[in-house]
Chain A
Amino acid sequence: MTEPQRSGKPLILEVKGLSVAYGTKIAVDEVSLEIERGEIFGLLGPNGAGKTSIMSSIEALIKPRSGQVLIDGIDITDNPQRAKAIMGVQLQATSFQSELTIRQIVSLYSGLYGIRLSRREIDERLEDIGLSNEAGKPFKQLSGGQQQRLALLIAVIHNPVLLLLDEPTSGLDPQSRRQLWGRIEHVRQAGGSILLTTHSMEEAQTVCDRVAIIDHGKLVTCDTPNRIIEKHKDDVRVKNVAHGDVTLEDVFIGLTGSEIRD
């Protein structure tokens, strides 16, 4: 695999030779990635390819078997608290304490990131994401789109240098999805870098500057969506699945296979 060209901007995330194993099963095998400041990077792969294991290693939720993860130069293993303080995370299945109201949840998480917010400041932030009327409701009473908006608000409440989004638009209607893409772009424009996983090729092509395709724990390819298409369009596996012009989805299925993964 050839290394994609770099623009020379500072690296916000460096994943070096990362391997993750669960017992004898190797979930991630020597994966290396780099994300620059202000870049939106997509991690694509079928179910069980190792995307969530890579994300969990970056989030310090699991201990990798080998390799190194640096967030703006801070080693996540050596200094997890410091690294977590500059990182925002939206997990695949976001859940907050069911007894707490939205306002209380925002207050809790802002405190965990060292920010004291007054009730008025919390309400202003909730108004920004259109949840001011829901401030007194518990999280479970919000719709899927509202839950995602709140999860994203909490992920960026401390203005992180790196934002990790694990399948942020899964289960959202097209309107909510588009709105979320806008918010992700806004984070980038404000100076943040974003690593997201997705099953949506449309999302990867529309939102991401670069994408990496992962399969069976290995990095298959990594570049801008257009360059990936250009690079693999003549691959016989890709040609076999393409109907007309080769798309990113054709390349994805061609490189990772057509069989259904659970």
Chain B
Amino acid sequence: MKYVTSYEQAMSPGPKLIYGSLLKADLLVLVKNRRSVVLSILLPMVILFTTHGNKAQQRLGGSLILVGLAITYGLMSTSMLGYTLGVARDRDAGVFQRLRVTPAPTWMIITSRLAIQVVANLVIALLVVIVGASMYHLTLGFGQYVLVLAISILGGALFLSIGLALVGMLKSSDTVNAAGRIVFAALIFLGLFGISGALGGALQFIASWSPVGTVMALFSAAINPAKWAGHDSLSLLVTLAYIVCFAGVGIRWFRWDTH
């Protein structure tokens, strides 16, 4: 083994190789966390199958709302329970610090994880919309699929930013785990019971403008763009505002090391 004698002789790692290595490792981590990915697909499928029937369908607002709800929950599950807990756990273990002492720029370390998560979100959204469309006999064109994928990037970004805000504000991975599950349960509750109006008008209003409500509205509108209304445009703006706020909080207070 020969050691370099000056920095001119040292290899200047190319950004392509660095980013490629990070993406490959993050993809492997995601694939090895099969349980989390399977659960993120299973949850929306359970929603689709258990609500398939006239009564439940009508009570929860119709097939478009249900498909939107199912995709939203899939994105929530993979982003908030998969990505967020993974970041908190790796930060606690010192994985990020180890990566940060390499020549890899910090933006690459962050975005490679996000990029892989976005791909996972797209796969989940596509699977759910295909199953949902087939169950509810919805005929979707190419444009609608593209729109659904675009909204799934947006929705995924919203739930990832909520997760980022949690890891930014909370230090310990145990606390992030507990808080993440509470927020996840609250959003599930709002989506399932709030939006339908079953728990009253006030809660319905809160639920429709909550992160889960705005994303659901966008998915429903993406599946049936002909019915795109003012409420949907406003949902888009509110979703963007949520992303900016939560990501801002997460980036502002994020710490690479908890020790």
Contacts and interface: CB of A to CB of B under 8 A. Distances in A.
A114 B102 contact: no
A114 B12 contact: yes
Contacts, number: 126
A171 interface: no
Interface majority SS on A: helix, strand, loop or mixed?
A: loop
Interface string A156-198: 1011110000000000000000000000001100111000000
B149 to A, nearest CB: 27
B172 interface: no
B24 to A, nearest CB: 7
Contacts of B61: none
Nearest to B33: A99
A51 to B, nearest CB: 15
B25 interface: yes
A95 B3 contact: no
B28 A113 contact: no
B11 A107 contact: no
Contact of B17 (A72, A91, A116): A116
A237 interface: no
A74 interface: yes
A37 B5 CA distance: 9
B28 A81 contact: no
B46 interface: no
Interface residues of B, number: 38
B17 A114 contact: yes
B7 interface: yes
Given A94-B98, A96-B95, A99-B33, A82 B5 contact: no
Interface size class of A (residues with CB under 8 A): 35 or more
A95 B28 CA distance: 17
Nearest to B3: A191
B100 interface: yes
B33 to A, nearest CB: 6
Contact of A108 (B4, B14, B25): B25
A154 B224 CA distance: 53
B227 interface: no
B10 to A, nearest CB: 4
Contact of B18 (A91, A111, A192): A111
B2 A73 contact: no
A96 B11 CA distance: 23
A1 interface: no
A61 B94 CA distance: 12
Given A85-B13, A97-B25, A112 B7 contact: no
A22 B32 CA distance: 38
Given A107-B24, A187-B3, A191-B3, 19 more contacts: A37-B5, A72-B6, A82-B103, A84-B101, A84-B103, A85-B11, A96-B95, A97-B90, A111-B20, A112-B13, A113-B11, A115-B11, A116-B17, A159-B2, A190-B1, A190-B2, A191-B4, A191-B5, A192-B3
15 contacts: A71-B7, A74-B7, A84-B103, A89-B101, A94-B98, A99-B29, A100-B28, A111-B22, A112-B18, A112-B103, A113-B13, A159-B2, A159-B3, A161-B5, A190-B1
Interface of A: 37, 59-61, 71-74, 81-82, 84-87, 89, 91, 93-100, 104, 107-116, 156, 158-161, 186-187, 190-192
Nearest 4 pairs of A and B residues by beta carbon: A111-B21, A114-B13, A191-B3, A99-B32
